[in-house]
Structure 1
Amino acid sequence: MTTAKKSAPNKSATKAKKAAKPAAAAPAPVAKPAPVATPAPVAAPAPVSTTTIGLVLGALLTGGVIATALQSSVVPSSPGNGQSAATDAQIEAYIRANPELILTVVREYSINKEKESKAQAVNLVKTNDGKTVFGNPDGDITIYEFSDYNCGYCKRSFGELMELVQADGNIRVVIKEMPILSQSSYDAAMLSLAAAELGRYDEAHAALMQWPGQLDDAALDQIVADLGLDKNELQEIAASDAIQDILSQNREAAEALGVSGTPAFVIGDEFIPGAMPKDQIEALIADIRNGES
């Protein structure tokens, strides 16, 4: 039996296969890290100007908070006109070391402004007494009342005020007509203000305050008749610019004082935004007379 010869491997093919084997890819070069940016220098805080320091110092001195400290070791006296740079630096350092003083001064400033506004409003109430007065016209105490003829609390306060005026004998009451509740409140105010021009205010005011029930047209006509006044004359006076000016001035004073309802009182320099019991009014009057309010 004849055996077939094994063919020898083809060296050329082997070499070709070896040549066909893909070569390994060369590793990609590692990228160099980007250089770290140098941080921008932090800007130094802007120096506080002499003007700003002066304003703050002025506020602090006005408030009386650091006056003593500045007069002693904190701020030496500065010769000549204006402050030296060293003084400004010391002031700034003191304020930065004691920032709570700024808040204290702001609070004190707000309180002082509120007191100032209140004093101006109280003076505005007192500038035009007009003819709506009852009690002792030369009394040493004046009570100002913002009032509406349809206000139940005003009616109650009127009774207590009358008792106080009669018992004391030295109290003057000025009514600031403030009709805010209804049209009949406005009509009643017109009646009383017109009566004031005829020298009959105290009578008209008492009649309107003591009227039982709502002050409608029929009630107002009855009051005019009871007082023996001429309705047409009253209406003519009520339509005048002078009467409208009184109401405008009363509204202006009420807004300045912060009056939002009736009754409201000014006694001395004290503003009372609401009804006040008779005994408390008596106590306040006693304090005013004793110089304690």
Structure 2
Amino acid sequence: MTFPRRLFAGLLLAAAALMLTPLGTQLATQPAHAQMSGTERQAVEEVVRDYLLENPEIIMEALGVLERRSQERQESRQREGLSEHRVALEEDPAAPVLGNPEGDVTLVEFFDYQCGYCKQVSEPLQTLLREDPNLRLVMKEFPILGPASLVAARAALAAQRQGGYEELHWALMAHRGQLTEDQILDIAEDTGLDIARLRQDMNDPTITEQLRSNHALAEALEIRGTPAFIVGDRLLPGAVGLDSLRQLIAEARAES
């Protein structure tokens, strides 16, 4: 395994400070320019190199610590972001809401109609809505997989104005394979929507602004792909299974 030179140099100095106590104390108390001469540094690096060659597991241990700390920092940022953007996530009046609008637990989903994993969780979500009368599902259109994704998102949001969002949403999710604009409009027509009106509403600037806001919100929360679910103060990327969603909803309900 090859390690970045900067990371390896950092490990060398950290190990030197730990192993060579007097010198380590000196390193901690003196300014950087006065810490070591070239000869001293070379001697330290030789000692550390020999030690690491004899104990290579230390490198993996150190990398594990770095990874855990990085994960903890990311989770902390996410919790802060979820708290800061709670209203935009859960109470945006423009966002479609499925299930019980007055439900006691809110589940938020960022999704794309061309995302295979989003389609995979479509049936589990419908199952949740059928079995949990107090679940509130907030839909965040997040078209990131090409022009057809954007057309589908616009069509779905435009369908909301005809009271047909939910039916079109599930119909688009049920479609297998890549979407085209003609297929999207055909699916919309099959659900009973007025296509002339739909086309007009799809170009409404307020829909453009709504999608822009969803993208900005996803960026603020470091959401890079779909699907992504939010329940309370937890953000879960990827295709979360039905049992896991049930458990998360139950935990959120118990904490409320």
TM above 0.5, yes or no, is yes
Q: CA deviation at 1:279?
A: 0.7
Give SS of 2:121's match.
helix
Q: Structure 2 counterpart of 1:220, which letter? A: I
Higher relative contact order (CA 8 A, sep 6+): 2
Partner of 1:208: 172
Q: Secondary structure at the match of 1:180?
A: coil
Secondary structure, counterpart of 1:125 in structure 2: helix
Q: 1:191 to 1:111 in 2, by over 3 A?
A: closer
Corresponding residue SS for 1:218: helix
The answer for the alignment partner of 2:99 in structure 1 is 135
2:200 aligned with 1:236: yes
Q: In structure 2, what is the equivalent of residue 150 of structure 1?
A: 114
What are the ranges of 5 or more consecutive residues in structure 2 without an aligned counterpart? 1-69
Q: Which runs of 5+ in 1 are unaligned?
A: 1-106
Whichever structure has more helix as a proportion of its residues is 2
Aligned-partner Cα distance in 2 for 1:221–1:113: 42
- Counterpart contact for 2:112–2:118, Cα < 8 Å: yes
TM-score (norm 1): 0.59
- Specify the code of the residue in structure 1 equivalent to 2:193: L
Whether 1:166 aligns to 2:123 is no
Which structure's CA Rg is the greater one?
1
Contact 2:83 2:233 in 1 (8 A): yes
Q: 1:228 to 1:139 in 2, by over 3 A?
A: same
User: Aligned residue pairs: how many?
Assistant: 185
Do the aligned partners of residues 124 and 224 (structure 1) sit closer, same or farther apart at CA in structure 2, a change above 3 Å counting?
A: closer
Q: How does 1:1-293 map to 2 (within 5 A)?
A: 114=77, 115-291=79-255
Alpha-carbon distance in structure 1 between the residues aligned to 2:245 and 2:74: 25
> Do the aligned residues in 2 keep the contact of 1:188 with 1:220 (CA within 8 Å)?
yes
Does the residue aligned with 2:107 lie in a helix, a strand or coil? Answer: strand
8 Å contact from structure 1 (residues 133, 201) kept in 2:
no
The percent identity for this pair of structures is 40
Q: CA deviation at 1:199?
A: 1.6
Runs of 4+ in 1 over 6 A off after TM superposition: 110-113
User: Conserved in 1, the CA contact under 8 Å of 2:125 and 2:242?
Assistant: yes
